[in-house]
Structure 1
Amino acid sequence: MWKQQLIHTDRGTFELFTKGHGEPLCITHLYSQFNETGDYFADSFTSLHKVILINLKDAGNSVTASQEDELSMEETIQDLEAIREALRISSWHFAGHSTGGMLGLLYAINYPQSLQSLVVVGAAASDYSKMKDCIYHPEHPQFAYMQQLIEDLKLPHLTKKERTTLSTERTKLSLYKPEQYETYFSKAIYKTMAASRMNYFAKEFRSFDVSEQLANVTTKTLILCGQHDVQCPIASSLQIHKGIRDSSFIPFEHSNHYPFLEEEEKFSSVITAFYHSLKEGSEHL
């Protein structure tokens, strides 16, 4: 189990969970609600770092936003900075999957001095839904089904069983081998969606575009993506790699949106090599 903490900052009180030992590494997601059971992505880093898993505003027991725009990405990275300062951490590592990776890019652009490294997994620097091989593009064959599942998951009075069934179906759409779902997601990890954050992101991501600012990123960056990612297609990761000087990019040939589960051993090996290279001052993995 992860250890819960409530951290008081000048931007409100935030709930976070910690696990592991080593240099501090921040992980969050724009609309996930975490709890003591943790998170599959975050678990991948606990053998290498002290992972700090953060519930953002309107998520879990963190402060409620008083205005809707407090849920924006720009406001969120300011919240992360306030949390870092309250924890008295001079700089930390950041790893983000999907919208967490998008947030990581914005963080590295705006607060380079706060990040020792950045790992971006299955993310994008601009509106990925414009790509026809993205499941959020209206012409994608699974578009309507995905949209229905997302809307159903926002319903407030779902039973735990109903929520689990819907979430499972949604996740299977983003697996290279959906029949392996039970194998990948076998731990007792339960997280939910913060509906207000999801709704805000659904409006905000259309105008999200940091592609021109990637050249300003000086943080050591590792970009990973499944070859078959239907949420943030691999072309998005290639755009990030092209934009960030000296970044490293590694594709996962047998993965969709969850390479840290679909190719767990390779993922662990890759991130271990990356962090070791930082300590050794190496330019290459």
Structure 2
Amino acid sequence: MTKWQRRVVKTTRGTFEIFTAGEGEPLCVTHLYSVFNESGDYFADEFTSTRRVILVNLREAGSSVGAQEHYQLSMLETIFDLEAVREALGYEQWIFAGHSTGGILAVIYGIYFPGSLKGLVAAGAAARDYYTFSKECIYHSGHPQFQVMQDYNERLKQQTLSAAERKEISISRTKLSLFKPENYHDYFHKKIHKGLSAVRMNFMNREFQLFDVTRKLKLVTAPALIICGRHDVQCPLEYSIEMAEGIPDSELIVFENSSHYPFLEENGLFHRKISSFLKRIDRL
């Protein structure tokens, strides 16, 4: 079990709660609406063997600063916050790695602050709204499991849920995004538990209707590793292909036996590809 150390960082944009683990060059991980704690994060854990990982609770998550204005919850403002954390920690550059909405942040980060990144990893992500146009996406109303996922998400926002109820709903929700849901307990066997920021998730659902940075992908100058499961029901593969085609220095890895969690569903392959990418960055 990875041991994470909690710290509160004072920045020019307020205080942010972070958790750190591992040694080596800095690598930042976050997610648009997750609330992290000392138990860590499955995706972030995968990098701690070779990197100093900084896991960030964003504004309105955990003990991080709140939002004085609604716009401070936007994806672009979030990147400004991450830049403030990087500067406060004294890093000239770092790698940014994100899964799902964290991967979306990775791409936006690469567009607006390419000089701050040595590289970026975007797993199961996209550069534009995929809810509206892809029936392969479980968040599209035409997907057969759309309403099931919506019901789970709404229930998880309820503050009155018991710990047992929250855990049961979270497991059922996650199984929808696995290629082999019967293997859930093999993948998620660590004592990691994290929460959800309802205010951040609600803002994202509104902002996402206007989200599209595909024409700006050419501005990403940092090396980018794009990862996606062949059967991803959250961020379908076509959106990772689109990102890889638009980012000049990018590599796309498709995991043939994965849905939305390739770093767990095909863990060995994931580590080989990540190791190769990080070694390439170290040579730059």
Q: Fold-level match, TM-score > 0.5?
A: yes
Letter in 1 for 2:210: S
Alignment-derived partner of residue 118 in structure 1: 120
Whole-Å separation in 2 of the counterparts to 1:216 and 1:270: 24
Alignment-derived partner of residue 273 in structure 2: 270
Percent of matched pairs sharing the same residue: 54
Is 1:77 aligned to residue 79 of structure 2? yes
Q: Of 184, 188, 192, which residue of structure 2 is paired with 1:185? A: 188
Per-residue CA deviations over 1:138-160 (Å, capped at 9, x if unaligned) read: 01000000000000000011111
Letter in 1 for 2:36: F
Is 1:261 aligned to residue 258 of structure 2? no
Letter in 1 for 2:155: D
Is 1:144 aligned to residue 147 of structure 2? yes
Structure 1 residue runs of 5 or longer lacking an equivalent are none
Q: Secondary structure at the match of 2:96?
A: strand
Aligned length: 281
Letter in 2 for 1:180: N
Per-residue CA deviations over 1:16-64 (Å, capped at 9, x if unaligned) read: 0000011000100000000000000000000121000000000001011
Alignment-derived partner of residue 91 in structure 2: 89
Structure 2 residue runs of 5 or longer lacking an equivalent are none
Kept after mapping to 1: 8 A contact 2:222/2:249: no
CA shift, 1:276, in A, is 0.8
After TM superposition, which residue ranges in structure 1, 4 or more long, deviate above 2 angstroms? none
Q: Of 227, 242, 246, which residue of structure 2 is paired with 1:243? A: 246
Q: Secondary structure at the match of 1:36?
A: coil
Q: Of 144, 164, 173, which residue of structure 1 is paired with 2:167? A: 164
Alignment-derived partner of residue 40 in structure 1: 42
Is 1:203 aligned to residue 209 of structure 2? no
Whole-Å separation in 2 of the counterparts to 1:236 and 1:76: 22
Kept after mapping to 1: 8 A contact 2:244/2:251: yes
Whole-Å separation in 2 of the counterparts to 1:222 and 1:143: 29
Whole-Å separation in 2 of the counterparts to 1:157 and 1:164: 13
CA shift, 1:257, in A, is 0.1
Whole-Å separation in 2 of the counterparts to 1:263 and 1:177: 11
Whole-Å separation in 1 of the counterparts to 2:200 and 2:232: 23
Q: Secondary structure at the match of 1:248?
A: strand
TM-score of the two chains, using structure 1 as the length reference = 0.98
Letter in 2 for 1:231: Q
CA shift, 1:280, in A, is 2.9
Whole-Å separation in 1 of the counterparts to 2:198 and 2:283: 43
Per-residue CA deviations over 1:214-256 (Å, capped at 9, x if unaligned) read: 0111000000000000000000000000001131001000000
Alignment-derived partner of residue 57 in structure 2: 55
Alignment-derived partner of residue 103 in structure 2: 101
Letter in 2 for 1:54: V
Q: Secondary structure at the match of 1:128?
A: coil
